[in-house]
């Protein structure tokens, strides 16, 4: 029930997810001394007596973020925890706890919830965190999983999105576009199955990309490697919505430009193979496919020697002066502006 029924309505798709967040965040005010960062980064930062507490929240909804047709429940539980840990890692923090809410149809079974919780528990053990409860309730239809992750970082040591400097190098962990290719493969097999339920799909040629989608990992290990290399990133974000949109978050928040190079983008062979099969451009997929949960960060130019031959870190470009845009230098040596074409759950539903 709206307060004023004569108000005119703006469809959510008009603003998109980021526009909506910006819009709603104007309604919030921050005055407490212990609120170090409210909104606008991967996690909020609260001052707890010298240490800073990080807190992040992600929702996963059935039919939007996952499809029970091809999502094993244990993997779903695992992923729900991991995507939140990824937000804490993207602040340079140590994840410590999670709290979970699940809204589920009353027609669901205890065993289904058990498998989800088992997957969550496996993720928690893997990352050394603990699940400290939550809320389970019914929904009138599809399942919604809400996870809040808690972490900590020494005072002042959180790595923000807003602190990249011109001339910093831009680095990503792992490879990009795999999770989106996994989704494309699973959606294709779903259609095949719907047409003929007797065909058993052979997913083994796609094991890597399918795993990227269904059972991603958070790159807490990359933080440890950076520490061992003596590198402190100047800014960081996790890649949940796609490289383009995450890079734009950093350039916008830091007030600098960026230039990345098509021939530097790390792409797995299986990702190339799926792109070929689906007649897609692998660069577009690496730029805009979401859910890779790799880390995107910037480091001082002077740290280049420390990182240049590392198998898990790829330098893909560098930040530029404040008045410059974020651009991609293509293999044909054209420089084109980067736009956010990341995953937009509001538009997705309307198409």
Residue 10 makes contact with its own copies by CB under 8 A:
yes
**DSSP-assigned letters across all residues of 243-297:** HHHHHHHHHHHHT-EEEEEGGG----HHHHHHHHHTT--HHHHHHH-----EEEE
For residue 324, the SS3 value is coil
Binding residues for ATP: 117, 134-135, 161, 240
| Separation CA 144–CA 304 (nearest Å) | 43
Residue span binding its own copies (CB under 8 A) among the ranges 44-52, 176-184, 202-210, 266-274: 44-52
Q: Judged by CB under 8 A, which of 165, 264, 308, 348 binds its own copies?
A: 348
| Separation CA 74–CA 117 (nearest Å) | 7
Residue 44 makes contact with its own copies by CB under 8 A:
yes
Q: Judged by CB under 8 A, which of 49, 196, 269, 333 binds its own copies?
A: 49
**What one-character DSSP code corresponds to residue 7?**
-
| Separation CA 208–CA 182 (nearest Å) | 8
Torsion sign, CA atoms 195, 200, 205, 209: positive
* Residues within window 265-324 making contact with its own copies, judged by CB under 8 A: none
* Residues within window 68-107 making contact with its own copies, judged by CB under 8 A: 68-74, 96-97, 99-107
Which residue's CB is nearer to its own copies, number 37 or number 218?
Answer: 37
Residue 17 makes contact with its own copies by CB under 8 A:
yes
Q: How many CA atoms lie within 13 A of 168 on its CB side?
A: 27
Residue span binding its own copies (CB under 8 A) among the ranges 25-33, 169-177, 275-283, 332-340: 25-33
- Contact between residue 112 and residue 157 where contact means Cβ atoms under 8 Å apart: no
* Residues within window 109-168 making contact with its own copies, judged by CB under 8 A: 109-115, 117-118, 121, 125, 128-142, 144, 146, 148, 150, 152
Binding residues: 42, 56, 58, 65, 87, 117, 134-135, 161, 238, 240-241, 291, 343
Q: How far is the CB of 42 from its own copies (least distance, A)?
A: 10
Which residue's CB is nearer to its own copies, number 114 or number 276?
Answer: 114
Which token pair is 104?
A: 């589920």
* Residues within window 191-230 making contact with its own copies, judged by CB under 8 A: none
Which residue's CB is nearer to its own copies, number 27 or number 228?
Answer: 27
Residue span binding its own copies (CB under 8 A) among the ranges 49-57, 198-206, 255-263, 283-291: 49-57
Residue 7 makes contact with its own copies by CB under 8 A:
yes
Torsion sign, CA atoms 167, 173, 175, 284: negative
Of 65, 141, 58, give the one whose Cα is nearest residue 104.
141
- Contact between residue 209 and residue 185 where contact means Cβ atoms under 8 Å apart: yes
Residue span binding its own copies (CB under 8 A) among the ranges 23-31, 201-209, 264-272, 327-335: 23-31
User: What is the C-alpha R_g of the chain?
Assistant: 21
**DSSP-assigned letters across all residues of 149-177:** EEEEEETT----SS---TTPEEEEES-SS
Q: How far is the CB of 305 from its own copies (least distance, A)?
A: 37
Binding residues for substrate: 65, 291, 343
- Contact between residue 155 and residue 52 where contact means Cβ atoms under 8 Å apart: yes
Which residue's CB is nearer to its own copies, number 28 or number 195?
Answer: 28
E strand residue ranges, 62-108: 94-105
Which residue's CB is nearer to its own copies, number 11 or number 311?
Answer: 11
Q: How far is the CB of 301 from its own copies (least distance, A)?
A: 32
Size of residue set near its own copies by CB under 8 A: 103
């Amino acid at each position: 029930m709206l307060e004023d029924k004569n108000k005119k309505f703006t469809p959510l798709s008009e603003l998109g997810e980021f526009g909506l967040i910006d819009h709603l965040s104007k309604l919030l005010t921050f005055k407490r001394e212990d609120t170090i960062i409210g909104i606008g980064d991967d996690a909020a930062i609260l001052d707890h007596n010298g240490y800073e507490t990080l807190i992040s929240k992600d929702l996963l909804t059935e039919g939007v973020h996952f499809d029970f047709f091809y999502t094993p429940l244990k993997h779903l539980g695992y992923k729900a925890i991991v995507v939140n840990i990824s937000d804490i890692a993207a602040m340079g923090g140590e994840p410590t706890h999670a709290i979970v809410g699940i809204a589920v149809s009353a027609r669901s079974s205890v065993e289904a919830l058990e498998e989800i919780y088992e997957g969550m528990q496996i993720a928690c053990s893997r990352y050394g965190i603990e699940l400290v409860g939550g809320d389970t309730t019914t929904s009138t239809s599809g399942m919604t999983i809400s996870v809040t992750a808690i972490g900590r970082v020494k005072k002042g040591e959180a790595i923000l999105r807003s602190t990249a400097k011109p001339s910093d190098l831009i680095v990503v962990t792992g490879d990009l576009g795999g999770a989106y290719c996994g989704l494309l493969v699973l959606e294709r097999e779903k259609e095949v199955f719907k047409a003929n339920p007797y065909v058993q799909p052979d997913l083994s040629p796609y094991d890597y990309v399918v795993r990227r989608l269904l059972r991603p990992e958070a790159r807490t290990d990359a933080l440890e490697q950076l520490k061992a290399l003596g590198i402190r990133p100047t800014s960081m974000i996790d890649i949940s919505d796609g490289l383009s949109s995450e890079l734009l978050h950093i350039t916008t928040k830091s007030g600098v430009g960026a230039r990345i190079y098509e021939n530097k983008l790390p792409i797995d062979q299986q990702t190339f193979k799926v792109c070929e099969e689906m007649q897609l451009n692998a660069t577009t997929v690496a730029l805009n496919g979401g859910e890779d949960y790799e880390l995107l960060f910037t480091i001082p130019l002077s740290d280049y020697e420390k990182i240049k031959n590392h198998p898990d870190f790829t330098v893909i470009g560098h930040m530029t002066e404040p008045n410059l845009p974020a651009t991609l230098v293509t293999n044909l040596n054209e420089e084109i502006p980067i736009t956010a074409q990341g995953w937009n759950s509001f538009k997705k539903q309307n198409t």
